Structure 1
Amino acid sequence: MKAVAMPTVSRVAVCGGTHGNELAGIYLVREMLKKRADGTEPVSVVTVMSNPRAAQLCVRYVETDLNRCFTRAALSAPVSETSPYEMIRSQELNALLGAQRSVDLLCDLHNTTANTGLCLITYSDRDWICLHICKHLQFPYMLDICYAKAYLCPTSVSISMEIGPQPHGVVRSVIFSAMQEGVQLMMDWICQFNSGTLFEGGWVDVYTMVKNIDYPRDSETHMISAAVHPDLQDRDFCLLHPGDPMFLCFSGETLRYRGKEALYPFFINEGAYYEKGVALSLARKRRICISVNKLKY
């Protein structure tokens, strides 16, 4: 298998609090900020509280979802003092982390109420650095890898680390510890790679998002009329077949999955997605062959 030449990863950003009520990332960033760099570290780490106002209030966002403010149109739009706080903050973060590739890799920390375990979301399924890091973490955690959208600063190579289940506004020690270890394993891989270590290639399972599914709704009030079925709840990344139970109506009726192909659900019953009209996302699973890495000097 041919080796792929990749540049040194010398500057890494670790961001928490993109959503101000996802507390594991917020507390991990606060712990990292307590440790002052002495200049001897092999990798320069920029630690950022992405949405400090929302974190202070322990809310997902103050005016609008920061994680949806990183489109190229939004980042180039003029802002003023009357602009939504998150719109202004997105441009500040892009100037700090995304403009002219000021960091080589960005890791954005998130929690979900869904039973995803440790899940990595990448912006591209052809970013070899991200895929090698995913493969490095996959063995100890049996984690799931999604090719979807890693929103924060799309001009940087980015990974979103999602861990759940954890209620919003709450920190669970097991989730915090898993996130802390996940970040450390990522940094370990970067240090080994920068020192010239060759990591074997191979196959990595990746879930590519196909579509979002909304809750059933009342035709008159547009309020949801069903909850996620008990047989589907907490079964993130477990294959959903046509005809499987999907929703349990408040009237008692079971609604079944009507798709023509079996797909993998994730972010099942995510608490923050009620406002977005998303009950779960569906993905296809496929295997990607990644090459042996080679440091580009």
Structure 2
Amino acid sequence: MCSLPVPREPLRRVAVTGGTHGNEMSGVCLAQHWLRVPGELQRPSFSATPVLANPEATAACRRYMSRDLNRAFTSSVLTTRATPEDPYEVTRARELNQLLGPKASHRAFDFILDLHNTTANMGTCLIVDSSHNAFTMHLCRHLQLQTPDMPCPVFLYQVPGEETFSINSVAKNGLALELGPQPQGVLRADLFSRMRSLVGAVLDFIELFNQGTSFPAFEMEAYRAVSHVDFPRTEDGDLAGTVHPQLQDRDFEPLQPGAPIFQMFSGKDVYYEGEATVYPIFINEAAYYEKGTAFMQTEKLSFSVPALPALTPAPTPGP
């Protein structure tokens, strides 16, 4: 399934973005810390650039000010002529595209690592657009091997035929870390420390690649988005029920046909009527109430990832 060409030169231009959502505090606080003390992001072959992606939302401790910044990196947003009436996040997306991109250009950053928290019980989730990028798949595998006692499921968010829209899609390669559960506007020491360690592991992998390390082929599992499921609602659009206790906190676990998914306020249970087993994620995510999503349905995929060959050393200039 990996079809995009792998990098054939060292990755020099790397960014770590936090605060894309201003109330997801692990990434916010790490970005703010590294802007003051950036030495932790330095490696022998490169130095990662810390970026506070949405400073106004961060200052207000809100997910966003006008619209979701992490959905704003589409060609229509980035290429439309600017006007004074543009929402703040549209303007900010264009600024970040100039700083880290432009998207899909040879001048774009080599890699963007974007830091997120979720209120759902997602654990340590690695989010990429698709399985087509062998370099990012090898990075995910590296993180999984570095933390054998901590599951790191891979979520492929891009629906076939859909354009990428996240901040890390601006770069030639990218990955988002999604750690939870953590309430919005709250910083948990355990998730902060885990995210910090994962960032270090990502930068270490890039350094290994830059120094000429090769990585063997492997088999991988990942979860691909299938559909979004809304809460049960009244005719007026109000909630008529909530996530069933037997589904709550069971992100990435198999959901079988006939299993309960919602509990109506009337006391009645609503059951999953699909014909195939699916794997719900972002179950009862606070930020998705406004999006009409009680959880996302995913399917589990297994696929082969080809070897990542070592970089060929640049020829030494002659005398």
TM-score (ref. length: structure 1): 0.94
Q: Which residue is 2:161 aligned to?
A: none
Amino acid at match of 1:80: T
Give the Cα–Cα distance (whole angstroms) in 2 for the partners of residues 39 and 228 of structure 1.
44
Q: CA contact under 8 A between 1:122 and 1:146: conserved in structure 2?
A: yes
Q: Which residue is 1:69 aligned to?
A: 72
The reply on whether 1:234 has 2:243 as its aligned counterpart is no
Query: Which of 186, 204, 229 is the equivalent residue of 1:213?
Result: 229
Q: Which residue is 1:113 aligned to?
A: 119
Structural mapping, 1:275-290, within 5 Å:
275-290=290-305
Q: How many residues align?
A: 293
Give 1 or 2: higher strand fraction: 1
Give the Cα–Cα distance (whole angstroms) in 1 for the partners of residues 153 and 297 of structure 2.
14
The reply on whether 1:20 has 2:42 as its aligned counterpart is no
SS at match of 1:154: helix
Q: CA contact under 8 A between 2:11 and 2:111: conserved in structure 1?
A: yes
Gap runs ≥5 in structure 1:
none
Q: CA contact under 8 A between 1:98 and 1:153: conserved in structure 2?
A: no
Give the Cα–Cα distance (whole angstroms) in 2 for the partners of residues 5 and 225 of structure 1.
49
Structural mapping, 1:1-297, within 5 Å:
6-7=7-8, 8-36=10-38, 41-99=44-102, 100=105, 101-139=107-145, 140=147, 141-149=150-158, 151-156=166-171, 157-219=173-235, 221-297=236-312
Q: Measured at CA, do residues 153 and 90 of structure 1 come closer, stay the same or move farther in structure 2, by a change above 3 Å? A: farther
Query: 1:180-210 deviations in whole A, cap 9, x for unaligned?
Result: 1111111111111111112222111110100
SS at match of 2:251: coil
Give the Cα–Cα distance (whole angstroms) in 1 for the partners of residues 11 and 43 of structure 2.
16
TM-score (ref. length: structure 2): 0.88
Give the Cα–Cα distance (whole angstroms) in 2 for the partners of residues 145 and 5 of structure 1.
19
Q: CA contact under 8 A between 1:236 and 1:267: conserved in structure 2?
A: yes
Give the Cα–Cα distance (whole angstroms) in 1 for the partners of residues 271 and 125 of structure 2.
26
Q: Measured at CA, do residues 284 and 234 of structure 1 come closer, stay the same or move farther in structure 2, by a change above 3 Å? A: same
Q: Measured at CA, do residues 104 and 216 of structure 1 come closer, stay the same or move farther in structure 2, by a change above 3 Å? A: same
**Equivalent pairs: percent with the same residue?**
40
Q: CA contact under 8 A between 2:35 and 2:50: conserved in structure 1?
A: yes
Give the Cα–Cα distance (whole angstroms) in 2 for the partners of residues 96 and 250 of structure 1.
49
Give the Cα–Cα distance (whole angstroms) in 2 for the partners of residues 9 and 292 of structure 1.
18
Q: CA contact under 8 A between 1:237 and 1:266: conserved in structure 2?
A: yes
Deviation at 1:153, TM superposition (A): 5.0
Give the Cα–Cα distance (whole angstroms) in 1 for the partners of residues 215 and 37 of structure 2.
30
SS at match of 1:137: helix
Gap runs ≥5 in structure 2:
159-164, 313-319
Give the Cα–Cα distance (whole angstroms) in 1 for the partners of residues 124 and 287 of structure 2.
18
Divergent runs of 4+, >3 A: 36-41
Deviation at 1:6, TM superposition (A): 3.2
Deviation at 1:5, TM superposition (A): 5.4
Q: CA contact under 8 A between 1:98 and 1:154: conserved in structure 2?
A: no
Q: Which residue is 2:315 aligned to?
A: none
SS at match of 2:308: strand
Query: 1:85-137 deviations in whole A, cap 9, x for unaligned?
Result: 10000000011112134310111111000000111111121101110110011
Q: Measured at CA, do residues 5 and 169 of structure 1 come closer, stay the same or move farther in structure 2, by a change above 3 Å? A: closer
